[in-house]
Amino acid sequence: MDYSNLSVSDFIKESKKGNIDIDDFHSVFFKKAEEIQKRYNHFITISKKEAKDSITKLDRKSTLAGLPISVKDNICTRGIQSTAGSKILENYIPPFDATSVSHGKEAGGIIVGKTVQDEFGFGTFSTNSAFGIPKNPIDPERSCGGSSGGAGGFTRAIDMPHIALGESTGGSISCPASFCGVVGLTPTYGRVSRYGLIDYANSLDKIGPMAKTVKDSALMLSIISGNDPLDQTSIQQKAEDFTRYCGKDIKGMKIGIPKEYFKGIDKDVEKTVRSAISKLEELGAKTVDISLPTTDYAIPSYYIIATVEASTNLAKYCGMRYGAQDEIKGYFNEYFSGIRGKYLGEEAKRRIILGTYARMAGYRDQYYLKALKVRTLIIEDFRKAFRKVDVLAAPTMPIIAPKFTDIEKLTPVENYAMDNLTVGPNLAGIPMISVPCGTSQNMPIGLHLLGDHLKEGNIIQTADAFERM
């Protein structure tokens, strides 16, 4: 059978009724996934065998009724290799599921594989992956974005019902969503449990869905959110049904346009996003000019806080407990350095060195503590803005998906600067959604909608109204 024009909601409806031969559906799905894999390398692992086992136990009356779910490789999956894109975790097979994964499975989702990412999430283009670089299915000479690049690329490439679980520390859901022309929903920090997430930077990491439509993302968020005693930073909020924000109008919704987020933007991106904003006005939203004066300080603050946290988190990969191990020779510190020198990539090393420096006695006050103070000011900027408006609208990324040959020319600092529009909202821990709003040179452009803490409803409602229009 041909399942290629089936939406997620039709799949669920028909599967529940027993109108879909689930074995046939999944064999067609894996055949396509394997073909996509050959061309674009979106997966580190395709878990066909494990999926088969789950299908035999599937409850057809469950919420997702057998829907394929791909999972970013830094989210632990029981019995399926989870490397976070790093050689140092090659062959690591977690004995447990991350809470978001177990919620997905309990809801009847079938885990189909683990998607490619930058090593531990360190990157914007997925070019820092130890397991091959994912290619953008719209133009394979271009990046899928990062760090959830495989998730974005595969969500775009597969023409069958599917939802991805991605993860963002400083923009890793929004960026690939924008570059691949799909929807990426980053929840409020603490809304979705981080239990079982291989951390990059604990105070920033958030798991969230990527999908073809706003409603599919809202559905997946409803499934994975909710308080989890296994994650101490998980907030005391019950799971709710976020799909109820879809299908509504946005008359009277107040949308702020942060003027700093239109500085240094590619002209086509700016034009397309501004025209998307006028469409929101046609739908009845009221726009207001807003200023976020700390915008220029977001990159330095983020790259200090994120690397400081990463440098402590990565200390555990020393060849003793899990991951890469060699024969122990010489002193322990020689052994540790040997393992880390051999199995960590260049960008991971750069970030460990940067982060260690910024938290060293003598530099801590100047760098780390100052970055934390700046973070407080950034949060305050957003707080002030959300006293006046319900949603902020801006471009997701300053450019369209770049060609690999152009990425090679970037210095690390130029590379970090690409995250200018995503790191601020990520530092503030507010929810955001990137929704496709047009193209330039045939490549997609993302409209970024930001909401106040726990106001996912507002951004889902706005993005869904825009998408329907």
Query: What is the set of active-site residues?
Result: 72, 147, 172
Span near ligand GLN by CB under 6 A; candidates 31-39, 47-55, 167-175, 231-239: 167-175
| Helical H segments across 17-131, by residue range | 22-40, 48-56, 99-106
* Least distance in angstroms from the C-beta of 426 to ligand GLN: 7
Q: Which residues contact 261 (CB under 8 A, 6 or more apart)?
A: 292, 295, 394, 395, 421
- Give whichever of 66 and 149 is closer to ligand GLN, judged by the CB atom: 149
Decide if residue 125 touches ligand GLN (CB under 6 A): no
Residue 216 or residue 419: which is nearer to ligand GLN going by CB?
419
Instruction: Examine residue 121 and tell whether it contacts ligand GLN (CB under 6 A).
Output: yes
What is the smallest separation between the CB atom of 32 and ligand GLN, expressed in angstroms? Answer: 28
Task: State which residue, 105 or 206, has the beta carbon closest to ligand GLN.
Answer: 206
Instruction: Work out which of 73, 119, 390, 419 binds ligand GLN, going by CB under 6 A.
Output: 419
Residue 434 binds ligand GLN (CB under 6 A): no
| Binding segment toward ligand GLN, per CB under 6 A, in 7-15, 115-123, 286-294, 394-402 | 115-123
205 versus 381: smaller Cβ distance to ligand GLN? 205
- Those residues whose C-beta lies under 8 Å from the C-beta of residue 284, and which sit 6 or more positions away, are 249, 250, 251, 252, 253
Picking from 261, 348, 335, the residue whose alpha carbon sits closest to that of residue 306 is 348
Residues 188-217 binding ligand GLN (CB under 6 A) are 200
DSSP 103: H
Residues 6+ apart with CB under 8 A from 175: 124, 145, 146, 152, 396, 397, 419, 422, 434
Q: Calculate Rg over the CA atoms of the chain.
A: 21
Q: Are 218 and 460 in contact (CB under 8 A)?
A: yes
23 — phi, psi (to 5°)? Answer: -70, -45
Closest CA to 300 of 384, 368, 203: 368
Q: Which of 170, 196, 355, 436 binds ligand GLN (CB under 6 A)?
A: 170
168, 301, 396, 458: residue in contact with ligand GLN (rule CB under 6 A): 168
Candidate segments 43-51, 100-108, 117-125, 432-440, binder of ligand GLN by CB under 6 A? 117-125
Number of residues that bind ligand GLN (CB under 6 A): 13
| Least Cβ distance, residue 171 to ligand GLN (angstroms) | 5
Q: Say whether residue 313 binds ligand GLN (CB under 6 A).
A: no
CB of 143 to ligand GLN, least distance (A): 12
Tell whether residue 171 is a contact of ligand GLN (CB under 6 A): yes
Choose between 168 and 243: whose C-beta lies nearer to ligand GLN: 168
- Could you identify the residue written with the tokens 């979106």? 42
Name the one range near ligand GLN by CB under 6 A: 90-98, 164-172, 189-197, 213-221. Answer: 164-172
Distance CA 261, CA 276 (A): 15
Tell me whether residue 166 or residue 256 sits nearer to ligand GLN (CB atom). 166
Applying CB under 6 A, does 147 fall inside the site for ligand GLN? Answer: yes
Classify 290 as helix, strand or coil: strand
Strand order in the sheet with 163-168: 43-46, 110-115, 68-72, 163-168, 206-211, 183-186, 432-440, 443-451, 391-395, 254-258, 286-290
Interaction of residue 172 with ligand GLN, rule CB under 6 A? yes
Rounded CA gap, 460 and 449, in Å? 9
DSSP character for 213?
A: S
- Quick one: 67 or 198, whose CB is closer to ligand GLN? 198
Q: Does 396 sit near ligand GLN (CB under 6 A)? A: no
Q: Among 25, 43, 122, 297, which residue interacts with ligand GLN (rule: CB under 6 A)?
A: 122
Contact between 124 and ligand GLN per CB under 6 A: yes
By beta-carbon proximity to ligand GLN, the closer residue of 143 and 458 is 143
Write the CA distances from 187 to 207, 228, 425, 460, integer angstroms.
7, 15, 11, 11
Beta strands in 331-431 (DSSP E): 391-395
424, 303 in Cβ contact below 8 A? no
The contact set with ligand GLN (CB under 6 A) reads 121-124, 147, 168-172, 200, 306, 419
